[in-house]
Amino acid sequence: MYVILVYDVAVERVAKVLQVGRKYLTWVQNSVLEGELTPAQFARLKAELKRTADPSDAIRFYVLPNKNALQVEVLGTSRNEPSQII
């Protein structure tokens, strides 16, 4: 599955949420990560973020069957692309 993670969390948790997200996904823009995950990886990501986040934080997951189901258009500079993983 292809997952897009978007978050809006308190300043004191931004770095921690990003750190957890980057274990599984590629950072592509401020507060946005994306990439291919297995169902088990997705479950682990959600569990880690649940422990990290506060109920007042907002974390969204957009789940697609695969990357081919996604069309992305970028205006301006693209910071990072999931295909750039080393």
Q: Where is the binding site for Mg(2+), in residues?
A: 8
- Count other Cβ atoms within 10 Å, centred on residue 9: 20
d(CA 8, CA 30): 10
Sorted by where each starts, the structural domains of the chain and their CATH numbers stand as: 2-68 (3.30.70.240)
Write out pLDDT tens, residues 11-27: 999 999 999 999 999 99
Q: Please give the full DSSP string across 46-64, using - where no structure is assigned.
A: HHHHHHHS-TTSEEEEEEE
Q: Where is the binding site, in residues?
A: 8
- Quickly state the pLDDT bin for 81 (edges 50, 70, 90): low
Residue type, 23: K
Q: Is 24 helix (H, G, I), strand (E, B) or coil?
A: coil
- Residue 83 carries which DSSP code? G
Tokens matching residue 76: 């301006």
pLDDT at 85: 47
